[in-house]
Amino acid sequence: MTLVSTPFWQGTDQMGRSLTLNTRPQRIVSLVPSQTELLFDLGLREEVVGITKFCIHPAEFYKTTPKIGGTKQFKLEVIEQLQPDLILGNKEENYADGIYALAEKYPVWMSDILNWQDALAMIRTVGGLVGKTTQALAMAAEIEAQFASLSPLQPFRKAAYFIWRKPWMVAGGDTFINEMMQKIGLHNVFASLPARYPALSAEEMAAYSPEVVLLSSEPYPFQAKHIAELQALFPKAQFQLVDGEMFSWYGSRLLYAAKYLQNLQKYF
pLDDT, average across residues 63-89: 97
Tell me phi and psi for residue 251, to 5 degrees. Answer: -105, -135
Residue at 46: amino acid letter = E
pLDDT tens across 145-155, in order? 999 999 999 99
β-sheet bridge partners, residue 109: 88
Checking if the pLDDT of 59 tops 60, the result is: yes
Question: In the predicted model, is pLDDT for residue 2 greater than 60?
Answer: no
Q: Tell me the domain boundaries of the chain.
A: 9-146, 157-267
**pLDDT band, residue 1 (cuts 50/70/90):** low
Question: For residue 167, what pLDDT is reported?
Answer: 96
* 9-146 and 157-267 share one fold: yes
SS3 labels along the chain:
CCCCCCCCEEEECCCCCEEEECCCCCCEEECCHHHHHHHHHCCCCCCEEEECCCCCCCHHHHHHCCECEECCEECHHHHHHHCCCEEEEECCCCCHHHHHHHHCCCCEEEECCCCHHHHHHHHHHHHHHCCCHHHHHHHHHHHHHHHHCCCCCCCCEEEEEEEECCCEEECCCCCHHHHHHHHCCEEECCCCCCCCCCEECHHHHCCCCCCEEEEECCCCCCCHHHHHHHHCCCCCCEEEEECHHHHHCCCCCHHHHHHHHHHHHHHC
CATH number of 157-267: 3.40.50.1980
CATH number of the structural domain 9-146: 3.40.50.1980
Q: Which residues are registered as beta bridge partners of 238?
A: 212
Q: Is the dihedral of CA 14, 27, 246, 210 positive or negative?
A: negative
Q: What is the mean pLDDT of residues 154-161?
A: 97
Name the nearest CA neighbour of 129 among 57, 53, 205, 38: 38
Q: What is the spatial distance between Cα 70 and Cα 77, in angstroms, rounded to a whole number?
A: 14
Give CA–CA dist 261/258, Å, rounded: 5
Q: Look at residue 108 in the predicted model and tell me its pLDDT.
A: 98
Residue 211 and residue 158 in contact, taking contact as beta carbons nearer than 8 Å: yes
Q: What percent of the chain has pLDDT over 90?
A: 95
| Predicted confidence (pLDDT) per residue in 109-132, tens digit | 999 999 999 999 999 999 999 999
Phi, psi of 94 (to 5 degrees): -105, 175
Average pLDDT, the chain: 95
Interior CA angle at 109 toward 196 and 66, to 5°? 95
**Span 196-215, pLDDT tens digits:** 999 999 999 988 999 999 99
